[in-house]
Amino acid sequence: MYRTADRRAGSLWLLACRSSAAVTGAAVLAILLFLLWFSLPLLDADTLSKLLSWDWRPFHGGFGILPMVAGSLLLSLSALLLAFPVSVGICCFAHGMGPSGPAACLLRLVKFMTSVPTVVYGFVGVFVLVPLLREAFRSGSGFCWLAAAVGLAVLILPTIVLMLHSQFMLIEPQVKLTATALGMSPAQRLLHLVMPNSGRGFAAALVLGFGRALGDTMIPLMLAGNAPQVPGSLLESLRAMTAHIALVVATDSQSLAYLSLFACGLILFLSTTLVNLGLQLLKRPEEDKG
Amino acid sequence: MKTGYRLFSLFCWACALLPVAGVFGLVVFLLKQGWGGLGLELFFGDTPPLDAIFRFAPVWDGIWPACFGTLAVTGLAALTAIPLGLFCGIYLNEFPRGRLSGILDFCVNLLAGMPSIIMGLFGFALILFLRHTLVPDAGTGLLLSGFCMGLLVLPYMIKSTQASLGGLPEDLRLMGTGLGFSKSQTIRHILLPSAGRGIMSGVVLSIGRAAEDTAVIMLTGAVANAGLPRGLFDNYEALPFFIYTVAAEYQSPEELQHGFGAALVLLTMTMGLFLAAHGLHHAMEKRWKRG
């Protein structure tokens, strides 16, 4: 009696686990299939050439998404350029350059930063950063590439710091004895032993940060000004792919505009996949070694 | 060389000060601007609070509908993500099947890195698809948002379940075998209770993530000034979306004040959830730390 009940319970558990796993896998597949299905018209050479142009003026028949692709790339890379050195500094501070008490607090603060809603960063950016830039440079409205890059840098900073931190945690114990035996100062240890051995961690942090910056919607949408153009300078407006999707859905438009939205979605999906593959590649050989 | 090290030290200190200044600046700025507006009027306007909460009296001049919408979406997302994520995490950790789990693991990682706007676009496409095929009058709404948000936070849930189960000492598994438990009994009676706090921290983390995300709800049914939703398929207001619309197109100082209030409320909410998740995670690690 008990036995059958137990066995039934056991198989129920397995069934629940398996079906949840199947649903999760199916969800990812469904997302890809939907994006592909709605991007199908792209296979038409004429439509494709229309979308792959530098001109976005939906009311004059211009549906080019290249400005947005360029905007996303420029924005993510510049945010990475801002956030990465600071993250390295923070990580070094936490691993010996600063006193241990404040270092622990700093790490906790950075972890806390992950919980601040993106939209709150954007909101504060609109009312603090944008007026500041407008006053400082006296050009335009302040909604520009630079504002969005700074906002995004703040957003991706914790991601990068925590990735570097976990890498440093792996390397530190390996070099600690050597460093102490050689009488190295913390700065010497970090610069000559820890950092040169953290190449993979640096690369992983860069890739992860880039993926996070590329995928964020609210900061570019709220701070970058959203003009569909390739910015000539840091003080000009740009539009990211993510912001483009949000804007086009909001303003109901013709079918080619919809198509541009799914094309952007597909590009984002594929870049996410690439980022993930990159991370896996960076992770793998290390596991083999250990 | 010596100056080089000194410069490096200076650089680290400067970098360390940046986030401190940033976070304090952010919190102080929000408090300064939003503190005056905090109060029951911020939430309910002129409507009596109890009427608004229990009798669904319409609130015209407050952020209560937005709070309600956020709670509803978060709840629906939790309903989707928690059971799915829990079982999927158990599957990945306890019933690994070689290649198949490898693929699933990759899917979970992919889902975790997916921009939230893609999840919103997926929901939007789902509605377009339904309109063309089965349900001609399908529209965006609460249920769709909840589902897409659930998918967005699903990987957090899976990963924390996996990590909590994986972090348990091997003795616990042996104990199950020693007691003559079957695999599912071991999971049900030994492993899950031991990993409870870790899994809970994943739940709380997912809820926090679902409460703050804006891109998903923007594409799947959040609108400005919708009032309380009348059903699962109705459009609704949400806190993050409200904050966004205020920043983009506020028309009066009162509206701006509400925006600051809403930002403060949302920040407090996610901060509380984060601290709870952190505490649970910490308790979990402390309990099973070796040596």
Convert the pLDDT of each residue in A28-69 to its tens digit: 999 999 989 888 888 888 888 877 888 888 777 778 889 999
Residues 144 through 183 of chain B touching chain A, CB cutoff 8 Å: 151, 154, 158, 182-183
B236 has which bridge partners?
B222
Q: Give CA–CA dist B203/B274, Å, rounded.
A: 11
Average per-residue pLDDT in chain B?
A: 88
Residue of B nearest to A99 (CA): B13
Residue A286: its pLDDT value, please?
56
**Using the beta-carbon criterion (under 8 Å), do B154 and A242 form an inter-chain contact?**
no
The token duo for A114 is 């992950």
A-B C-beta contacts closer than 8 Å: 250
pLDDT category at B291 given cuts 50, 70, 90 is very low
Residue of B nearest to A104 (CA): B16
Convert the pLDDT of each residue in A147-190 to its tens digit: 999 999 999 999 999 999 999 998 988 888 889 899 988 888 99
pLDDT category at B40 given cuts 50, 70, 90 is confident
Fill in the DSSP letter of residue B114. S
A89 in B contact zone (CB under 8 Å):
yes
Q: Which residue stretches of chain A have pLDDT < 70?
A: 1-3, 250-254, 285-290
Given B92, B115, B212, which is nearest A119 (Cβ)?
B212
Asked if pLDDT for residue B128 goes beyond 90, the answer is: no
Given B8, B90, B270, which is nearest A116 (Cβ)?
B270
Residue B144: its pLDDT value, please?
92
A281 in B contact zone (CB under 8 Å):
no
Residue A1: its pLDDT value, please?
46
3-state secondary structure at position B217: helix
**Using the beta-carbon criterion (under 8 Å), do B87 and A35 form an inter-chain contact?**
no
Nearest to B41 by CA among B33, B50, B49, B31: B49
* Alpha-carbon distances, residue A78 vs A146, A151, B226 (angstroms): 9, 11, 38
**Using the beta-carbon criterion (under 8 Å), do B30 and A27 form an inter-chain contact?**
no
N- to C-terminal Cα distance for chain B?
Answer: 42
Nearest to B202 by CA among B83, B109, B91: B83
What's the burial of B3, exposed, middle or buried (CB within 10 Å: 0-12/13-18/19+)?
exposed
Taking the mean position of all CA atoms in its chain, how far away is CA A92?
22
Per CB-CB distance under 8 Å, the chain A contacts of B176 are none
**Using the beta-carbon criterion (under 8 Å), do B23 and A113 form an inter-chain contact?**
yes
Provide CB contacts within 8 A for A160, sequence distance 6+: A83, A84, A87, A205, A206, A208, A209
Nearest-CA distance from B55 to chain A in Å?
Answer: 31
3-state secondary structure at position B238: coil
Per CB-CB distance under 8 Å, the chain A contacts of B26 are 116, 120-121, 124
Residue A274: its pLDDT value, please?
93
**Using the beta-carbon criterion (under 8 Å), do B182 and A98 form an inter-chain contact?**
no
Residue of B nearest to A259 (CA): B125
Neighbours of A266 (CB within 10 A): 18
Residue A2: its pLDDT value, please?
55
A65-289, superfamily in CATH? MetI-like (1.10.3720.10)
A88 in B contact zone (CB under 8 Å):
yes
A242 in B contact zone (CB under 8 Å):
yes
**Using the beta-carbon criterion (under 8 Å), do A268 and B25 form an inter-chain contact?**
no
Nearest-CA distance from B72 to chain A in Å?
Answer: 18
A222 in B contact zone (CB under 8 Å):
yes
3-state secondary structure at position B1: coil
- Average pLDDT on B113-138 reads 87
Range of lowest pLDDT (A117-126, A275-284, B192-201, B219-228): B219-228
A240 in B contact zone (CB under 8 Å):
no
Assembly ipTM: 0.89
Convert the pLDDT of each residue in B148-173 to its tens digit: 999 999 999 999 999 999 888 888 88
CB B126 within 8 A of CB B138: no
**Using the beta-carbon criterion (under 8 Å), do B151 and A27 form an inter-chain contact?**
yes
Neighbours of A125 (CB within 10 A): 26
Nearest-CA distance from B77 to chain A in Å?
Answer: 14
N- to C-terminal Cα distance for chain A?
Answer: 48
3-state secondary structure at position B181: coil
Residue A268: its pLDDT value, please?
93
Residue B290: its pLDDT value, please?
55
Residue type, A280: Q
**Using the beta-carbon criterion (under 8 Å), do A279 and B109 form an inter-chain contact?**
yes
B215 in A contact zone (CB under 8 Å):
yes
Residue of A nearest to B9 (CA): A97
Domain boundaries of chain A, sorted by first residue? 2-43, 65-289
**Using the beta-carbon criterion (under 8 Å), do A31 and B118 form an inter-chain contact?**
yes
Per CB-CB distance under 8 Å, the chain B contacts of A250 are 218
**Using the beta-carbon criterion (under 8 Å), do B115 and A23 form an inter-chain contact?**
no
Residue B260: its pLDDT value, please?
92
Q: Give CA–CA dist A209/B150, Å, rounded.
A: 24
Nearest-CA distance from A225 to chain B in Å?
Answer: 10
Neighbours of A158 (CB within 10 A): 25
Residue A60: its pLDDT value, please?
75
SS (H, E, C) chain A: CHHHHHHHHHHHHHHHHHHHHHHHHHHHHHHHHHHHHHHHHHHCHHHHHHHCCCCEEHHHCEECCHHHHHHHHHHHHHHHHHHHHHHHHHHHHHHHHCCHHHHHHHHHHHHHHCCCCHHHHHHHHHHHHHHHHHHHHCCCCCCCHHHHHHHHHHHHHHHHHHHHHHHHHHHHHHHHHHHHHCCCCHHHHHHHHHCCCCHHHHHHHHHHHHHHHHHCCHHHHHHCECCCCCCCCCCCCECCHHHHHHHHHHCCCCHHHHHHHHHHHHHHHHHHHHHHHHHHHHHHHHHHHC
**Using the beta-carbon criterion (under 8 Å), do A17 and B95 form an inter-chain contact?**
yes
B1 in A contact zone (CB under 8 Å):
no
Neighbours of B55 (CB within 10 A): 9
**Using the beta-carbon criterion (under 8 Å), do B118 and A265 form an inter-chain contact?**
yes
- B58 vs A271 pLDDT, higher one: A271
A249 in B contact zone (CB under 8 Å):
yes
B24 in A contact zone (CB under 8 Å):
no
Residues 40 through 79 of chain B touching chain A, CB cutoff 8 Å: none
Residue of A nearest to B22 (CA): A154
B128 in A contact zone (CB under 8 Å):
yes
Taking the mean position of all CA atoms in its chain, how far away is CA A37?
26
